[in-house]
């Protein structure tokens, strides 16, 4: 029975200590992951003000440039992390290798391309609001100033398509949030592969 090691990635640190064994859904594979209980105190950002530098020093244009550069590195033909995620997904997802290849080679990188990131942000939030406070005059004459800020979130991603990991990365980067991602048992590597890249 093949065993896959699934490390934790916490604020850029790859963790492979205190490994525990888990069976995959169908019992055909095994996973080894760090015992999350040993790291619970490190998962959430305890002080939300520690995210302030993302708004003071990181513009939306910086986020777009970063995601676009990341998209160029998300080719499973040359990225060993995505290659491993693809190979595992072929065994666990229930989707055909062709559908999975399209998700890894075209869909996920496409979600992070500059034009798509800007379009999503503008249509769903408004790019101007992502870089500062916006003024809105209300019907009754009052003035409101709003600004969307990233939150500390837990993303429990669905395992029906590896593209969900790309969508999670996209939205978390646009909002400059602090994410804890709980990957599905049939796709434990895709979000990690994007993060490691």
Same domain, 88 and 182: yes
Q: What is the pTM of this model?
A: 0.89
Query: Which two structure tokens, joined as six digits, stand for 89?
Result: 């997904």
- Is 18 a member of any domain? yes
Mean pLDDT across the chain, nearest whole number? 91
Span 42-75, pLDDT tens digits: 988 888 777 887 778 889 999 999 999 999 999 9
What's 124's domain CATH number?
Answer: 3.40.605.10
What total of structural domains would you count in the chain?
A: 2
Give the structural domain span for 19.
1-38
| Judgement on whether residues 117 and 142 belong to the same structural domain of the protein | yes
Q: What are 139's two structure tokens?
A: 């019907």
Q: Which residues contact 141 (CB under 8 A, 6 or more apart)?
A: none
Residues 59 and 15 both lie in one domain: no
Task: Say whether pLDDT at 192 is over 90.
Answer: yes
For the chain, the C-alpha Rg in angstroms (whole number) is 19
Residue with tokens 């029975």: 1
Identify the pLDDT of residue 143.
96
- Give the Cα separation of 111 and 67 in Å (integer): 9
Q: What is the pLDDT of residues 77-103, one digit of tens each?
A: 999 999 999 999 998 888 999 999 999
Cα-Cα-Cα-Cα torsion 133, 136, 138, 139, nearest 10 degrees, comes to -170
46 located within any domain = no
CA distance 136 to 125: 14
- Look up tokens 């994410």; give the residue: 179
Q: Is the pLDDT of residue 150 over 80?
A: no
């Amino acid at each position: 029975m093949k065993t896959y090691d699934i490390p934790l990635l916490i604020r850029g640190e790859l963790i492979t200590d205190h490994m525990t064994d888990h069976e995959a859904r169908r019992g055909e594979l095994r996973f080894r992951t760090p015992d999350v209980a040993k790291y619970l105190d490190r998962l959430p950002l305890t002080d939300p003000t520690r995210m302030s530098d993302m708004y003071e020093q990181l513009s939306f244009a910086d986020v777009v440039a970063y995601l676009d550069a990341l998209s160029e590195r998300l080719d499973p033909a040359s990225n060993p992390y995505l290659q491993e995620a693809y190979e595992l997904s072929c065994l666990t997802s229930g989707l055909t290798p062709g559908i999975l290849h399209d998700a890894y080679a075209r869909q996920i990188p496409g979600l992070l391309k500059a034009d798509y990131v800007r379009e999503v942000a503008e249509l769903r939030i408004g790019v101007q609001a992502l870089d500062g406070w916006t003024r809105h005059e209300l019907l009754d004459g009052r003035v409101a100033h709003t600004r969307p800020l990233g939150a500390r979130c837990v993303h429990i991603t669905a395992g029906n398509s590896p593209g969900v990991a790309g969508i999670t990365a996209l939205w978390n980067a646009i909002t400059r949030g602090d994410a804890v991602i709980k990957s599905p048992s049939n796709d434990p590597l895709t979000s990690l592969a994007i993060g490691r890249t």
